[in-house]
Structure 1
Amino acid sequence: MDASLVAAVETGLAAAADPAKAPDMQRYMKSDMPFFGVAKPQRAALVKALFQAHPIADRTTWVDTMAALWREATHREQRYVALDLAGHKPYQRWQDVDLLPLYEEFIVTGAWWDYVDEVASRRVGPLLRQDPDTIAPRLRTWAKDDDRWKRRTSIICQLAAKQATDTDLLTDTIEANIDDPDFFLRKGIGWALREYAKTEPGWVRHFVDTHPGLSPLSRREALKHLAQ
């Protein structure tokens, strides 16, 4: 890993910390892990400078550095930076299906929407489109997993897919969770359908009409921008 980058992230976040904001941020996110109190715009500026100052030369170092930022985090923003590093444009050539176990770790140990939604839509989703034969079967397994965040990921990972949406996969992951009362699953189902309705409103309308078991929340979200 790039130990100098990991250390610089902690030092930079500590220097930018706002102790007055930190408790409110922690309370809003219902987080056991404390915050430094660094808002997203300030974090983005810091990350840009640090990533420029500490370029990573190889894939192994990049992966190990992401993992270290995540696993060694004492404050929530350090894990946000791990996700920022995962999405850093110069390193996108290293994205491949071998990253799925690490992203799965982020999902399971992060276990909250701020982490999970980022990983699902911006990391797992692109991997699905890159190698559907490998990733789609894994997502069908995740859709029935005991972990609700893996299940949510399987449902919302295609938010940005538009015309490339695998509707069979979307159907399978929703149907596997349609009876679950969990708020985050019901909200995720509605969100996934609402986004796809921007591309194929007729498909979504038909799906809703033929799935009376959808919760009122999922149905309302799915039809939010369609004529009632």
Structure 2
Amino acid sequence: MDKFTNIMNELTTIFTSNANSTIKIKQEKFLVNNFSFYGILTSKRKPIVKPVITNCNKILTLQEKKILFEKMYKQPNREFQYTAIEFLKFWWKKNLTFNDLNWLLPIIKYNIWWDTTDYFDDIFGVLIFSNDDVKVRNEYLFKLINDENDWIKRIAIQSQLMFKIKTDIDLLLTLIKPLLVTNNFYLIRSIGWALRNAALINPTKINQFIKENNVSKKIISVINEH
């Protein structure tokens, strides 16, 4: 048995031995029965898996960490995706570069939804803007915003949410302009949040953008939320 099989078996044993059918039903209902759960609350799951993923972070090479992340992430039960994300948080900042986005993007599309998407905004934002070649990084953002998957569009929109004064507002407005007509609730939320943050930096430009593009009341209501 290889090391990955042992780790996956250890995690599976932890999850199955702590599964709760009542919690499982509630968790699956909360995500509209789109995904499977073992039935373990986050507050319980995190401490019982932390020793395993902490040890993996210490003993595995970078390539092995990437393999394990993918193996965990592509398991059907949601607890595995959440644990994979927590494992990734240990090492991505010091180890991943812009070039790793081509590895990461197809993985996170597995069973993607709002509960996983929003964990990757900062990761994609930091890695994309770490590339000093403006043309290359902008091309990558346009690749995301034109992806057929709306969740990937959401990542593109939200990739600068934490950038504050470093936000490239002109680029942001260019990205979201074609999506202003969307009826997708989650994209409307993303656009509203992005414009609200940008308005804190340059309110004149954002107000002008809103007026010139007849931004919908739904988006404006998100902008005006407190």
- TM-score tier by shorter-chain length is 0.7 to 0.9
**Partner of residue 213, structure 2:** 211
Residue 96 of structure 1 pairs with residue 97 of structure 2: yes
The RMSD of aligned alpha carbons is 2.1
Within 2, Cα distance between the matches of 1:103 and 1:218?
A: 30
Deviation at 1:58, TM superposition (A): 1.5
CA displacement, residues 160-183 of structure 1 (integer Å, 9 cap, x when unaligned): 111221212211111121112222
Rounded Cα–Cα distance in structure 2 between residues aligned with 1:107 and 1:128: 16
SS, match of residue 22 in structure 2: coil
Structure 2 residue 66 is the aligned partner of structure 1 residue 58:
no
Unaligned runs of 5+ in 2: none
Query: Counterparts of 1:54-203 in structure 2 under 5 Å?
Result: 54=56, 55-71=58-74, 73-88=75-90, 90-119=91-120, 121-131=121-131, 133=133, 134-203=136-205
- Structure 1: how far apart are the matches of 2:59 and 2:79? 20
Contact 1:140 / 1:172 at 8 angstroms: preserved in 2? Answer: no
Distance 1:108 1:74, change over 3 A: closer
Give the SS at the match of 1:118.
coil
Is residue 2–residue 56 contact of structure 1 (8 Å, CA) maintained in 2? no
Q: Which runs of 5+ in 1 are unaligned?
A: none
Change (3 A) 1:205 1:40: farther
TM-score (structure 2 length as normaliser): 0.87
Deviation at 1:85, TM superposition (A): 1.3
Matched position secondary structure for 2:209: helix
TM-score normalised by length of structure 1: 0.86
CA separation of 1:58 and 1:162: change in aligned 2, threshold 3 A = same
Matched AA of 1:195: N
Residues 60 and 207 (structure 1), Cα distance of their counterparts in 2 relative to 1, 3 Å cut: same
Q: CA deviation at 1:198?
A: 4.5
Q: CA deviation at 1:91?
A: 4.9
Distance 1:211 1:2 in 2: 52
Q: Hey, what does 1:223 align to over in structure 2?
A: 224
CA offsets per residue over residues 127-165 of structure 1, 9 Å max, x none? 123226343311112212222122111111111111221
Aligned residues: 221
Does residue 21 of the first structure (1) align with residue 27 of the second (2)?
Answer: no
